[in-house]
Amino acid sequence: MFVPAIKGQGTEEQQKKWLPLAYKFQIIGCYAQTELGHGSNVQGLETTATFDPMTDEFVIHSPTLTSSKWWPGGLGKASTHAVVYARLITEGKDYGIHGFIVQLRSLEDHSPLPGVTLGDIGGKFGSGAYNSMDNGVLRFDHVRIPRDQMLMRLSQVTREGKYVQSDVPKQLLYGTMVYVRQSIVADASKALSRAVCIAVRYSAIRKQFGSQDGGPETQVLNYRTQQSRLFPLLASAYAFRFVGDWLNWLYTDVTQKLEVKDYSTLQEAHACTAGLKAVTTSATADAIEECRKLCGGHGYLNSSGLPELFAVYVPACTYEGDNVVLLLQVARILMKTVSQLTSGKQPVGTMAYMGKVQHLMQSKCAVKTAEDWLNPAFIQEAFEARALRMAVNCAQNIGQASNQEEGFYERSPDLLEAAVAHIQLIIVTKFIEKVHQDIPGHGVKEQLQNLCNVYALYTLHKHLGDFLATGSLTPKQGALANEQLGKLYAQVRPNAVALVDAFNYTDHYLGSVLGRYDGNVYPALYEEAWKDPLNETVVPEGYHEYLRPLLKQQLKLSRL
């Protein structure tokens, strides 16, 4: 994040100076924004950067305990430099949060520079690999940096100390976070596909109950409950991959537009990166835990690969923006869009469907049979109607409040659900668009169409309350969707293993005895057990000190 921050907020000159050093690992940088007292509320950060015209320097200082930088990855032990976000103060005025390049450690002996106190913040969730990341704490005691180490692409301070705001939206300060959020969506698909690959392969080899007259027991993958829990996760892995590809395109397109000072899609980029990051990471974190449960007791072994994957993955719901905070950002944009509908301003991009407000507010879903739910047009319209009606309902309720802001906070739980509905519509839309493309490979398109319908109808079934409450569906149509879902699971079943093999993960990368490509699980589980250090001695340490005296004492007592 150190590099994209300099690329996005540094001048050409600053990029020329600092990026080669970072690329060649002549310096190691981190992104020091979050503080002990503030993470979500960036504008509440307390670290100060006060311009001293006498020396043409900024004085970086941590005025309070809560202003200590806290969490930045790489900060504790590895980084020599940081992009530090601090309140810019010049001529006695506070101009809010800006980025500054600050050296933290000597390039000679890695010792902290004068005025810099830093270290690691301690162990994190479980024994997961994230403990290999030195998330750190950092305090400044009046550390001086040259004025040219303020990142000056978006705004400047002159030699005399005058603050100059460039003619660019101040939200570009948040550009690094937008960049990482879009990459996190692709990572959600990777993490989810790893978990699903393990769970599908293991479910194919695990047999439990169901043997007739001594025959083989039933593969758990054949149980409808296993399929109804597992196949939506398989479909989600593909859904998040395709929407992540599209989001990367959107981000690239917005970045190119920014180069020519076209800021027209900045809001769309913010809403989509924030919303998709929130929805895909929440779903993926829950799904990895579900995959553990789908593997029964063996899923709880570290050798299954699932506990580690879960421990490393779950902070994705928090870092790069707490998911609720990000969804409320989406909700704000939805409310703004709804308020503009009466002005005749046509919504664009992923909000364009809201322009069909007249139709969508009164449309009646035309589904009459379970098979009708295989028609993408019916799915698309149902999801559009649900999302729009939830947004309009929120706007109407907020409108009844005496104060817009008060109304927004009062209705924020409903707004959260409306934001999720909007983002799920985007995911469904992009999946439908993907399967409409020419897709190489015999039968591949049909399989992806099945998964697209599984993702859409499962999401509809899970959120049926929204569809019924908004009148977007009737209970009968909801029941038909569920009926079709069951038929789809039967179609996915024969290809389930092939659909996870398609992720093409090596056994090494998967790191799971349950997810081995050869399915040879039991010998692998048994062999793995003996690697446990506890098994280095047949008689456990502590027997003579603790167990033996206890056993002997009990034996004596029993003879009395």
Out of ligand FAD, ligand L3CPSR6R, none, what residue 324 binds, judged by CB under 5 to 8 A for its kind, is ligand FAD
Alpha-carbon gap, residue 457 to 455, rounded angstroms:
6
Residue 189 near residue 237 (C-beta atoms within 8 A):
yes
CB-nearer residue toward ligand L3CPSR6R: 172 or 392: 172
Q: Is 66 in the site for ligand FAD (CB under 6 A)?
A: no
34 is in an annotated binding site: yes
Q: Is 34 in the site for ligand FAD (CB under 6 A)?
A: yes
- State the burial class of residue 515 (Cβ atoms within 10 Å of its Cβ: 0-12, 13-18, 19+): buried
Q: Residue 82 CB, nearest distance to ligand FAD (Å)?
A: 9
Give CA–CA dist 247/349, Å, rounded.
12
* Interface residue with ligand FAD, options 26, 40, 106, 403 (CB under 6 A): 40
Smallest separation (angstroms) from ligand FAD to the CB of 482:
32
Cβ 191 to ligand L3CPSR6R shortest distance, Å:
4
Characterize the bridge pairing of strands 48-52 and 93-103.
unpaired
Is residue 135 near ligand FAD by the rule CB under 6 A?
yes
| Contact criterion met (CB below 8 Å) for 496 and 204 | yes
Binds 135, which of ligand L3CPSR6R, ligand FAD, none (CB < 5 to 8 A, cut-off by type)?
ligand FAD
- The least CB distance from residue 66 to ligand L3CPSR6R, in Å, is 16
Name the minimum Å distance from CB 550 to ligand L3CPSR6R. 43
Distance CA 180, CA 31 (A): 12
CB nearer ligand L3CPSR6R, residue 169 or residue 471:
169
**The only residue of 6, 8, 18, 33 in contact with ligand FAD, by rule CB under 6 A:** 33
CA distance 225 to 288: 17
- Comparing CB distances to ligand FAD, the nearer of 60 and 221 is 60
Based on the shown chain and the rule CB under 6 A, indicate whether residue 315 belongs to the binding site for ligand FAD. yes
Residue 31 touches ligand FAD, criterion: CB under 6 A: yes
What is the length of the chain?
Answer: 560
CB closest to ligand FAD, residue no: 39
* Local structure of 388: helix, strand or coil: helix
Asked if 322 interacts with ligand FAD (CB under 6 A), we say yes
Any idea what DSSP says for residue 111? P
CA distances from 45 to 39, 103, 448, 542 (A): 8, 20, 46, 52
Residue 318 lies near ligand FAD (rule: CB under 6 A): yes
Alpha-carbon gap, residue 311 to 320, rounded angstroms: 17
Q: Where are the beta strands (DSSP E) in 71-187?
A: 81-90, 93-103, 116-120, 136-140, 143-146, 155-157, 163-165
CA dihedral of 330, 336, 337, 343, whole degrees rounded to 10 = 180
Report d(CA 474, CA 368) in Å as an integer: 10
Would you say 251 or 319 has its CB closer to ligand FAD?
319
At 450, the amino acid letter reads N
Q: Which does 168 bind (CB under 5 to 8 A by kind): ligand L3CPSR6R, ligand FAD, none?
A: none
Given a contact cutoff of 8 angstroms between Cβ atoms, the answer to whether 296 and 321 are in contact is no
CB of 447 to ligand L3CPSR6R, least distance (A): 25
Residue type, 294: L
Q: Is 325 in the site for ligand FAD (CB under 6 A)?
A: yes
Q: Which is nearer to ligand L3CPSR6R, 56 or 322 (CB)?
A: 322
Residues noted as catalytic: 320
Residues that bind ligand L3CPSR6R (CB under 6 A): 1, 31, 33-34, 39-43, 73, 171, 174, 177-178, 180, 183-184, 187, 191, 266, 270, 309, 312-313, 316, 319-321, 325, 329, 332-333, 336
Nearest-approach distance from CB 326 to ligand L3CPSR6R, in angstroms = 7
Burial class (CB in 10 A: 0-12, 13-18, 19+), 95: middle
Q: What is the DSSP string of 25-54?
A: TSS-EEEE--BSS-SS-GGG---EEEEETT
Nearer to ligand FAD, 32 or 428 (CB): 32
Residues 104 and 143 sit within 8 Å (Cβ to Cβ): no
73 among the known binding-site residues?
yes
222 binds ligand FAD (CB under 6 A): no
Segment interacting with ligand FAD (CB under 6 A) among 296-304, 315-323, 352-360, 479-487: 315-323
The listed partner (ligand FAD, ligand L3CPSR6R, none) that binds 81, CB under 5 to 8 Å by sort, is none
Give the residue with the Cβ less far from ligand L3CPSR6R, 177 or 392.
Answer: 177
**Cα separation, 323 vs 501, whole angstroms:** 31
Question: Which CB atom, from 71 or from 240, has the smaller least distance to ligand FAD?
Answer: 71
| Cβ neighbours of 468 (radius 10 Å) | 15
List residues near ligand FAD by CB under 6 A. Answer: 31, 33-34, 39-40, 71-73, 130, 135, 315, 318-319, 321-322, 324-325, 328
Question: Residues marked as binding?
Answer: 34, 73
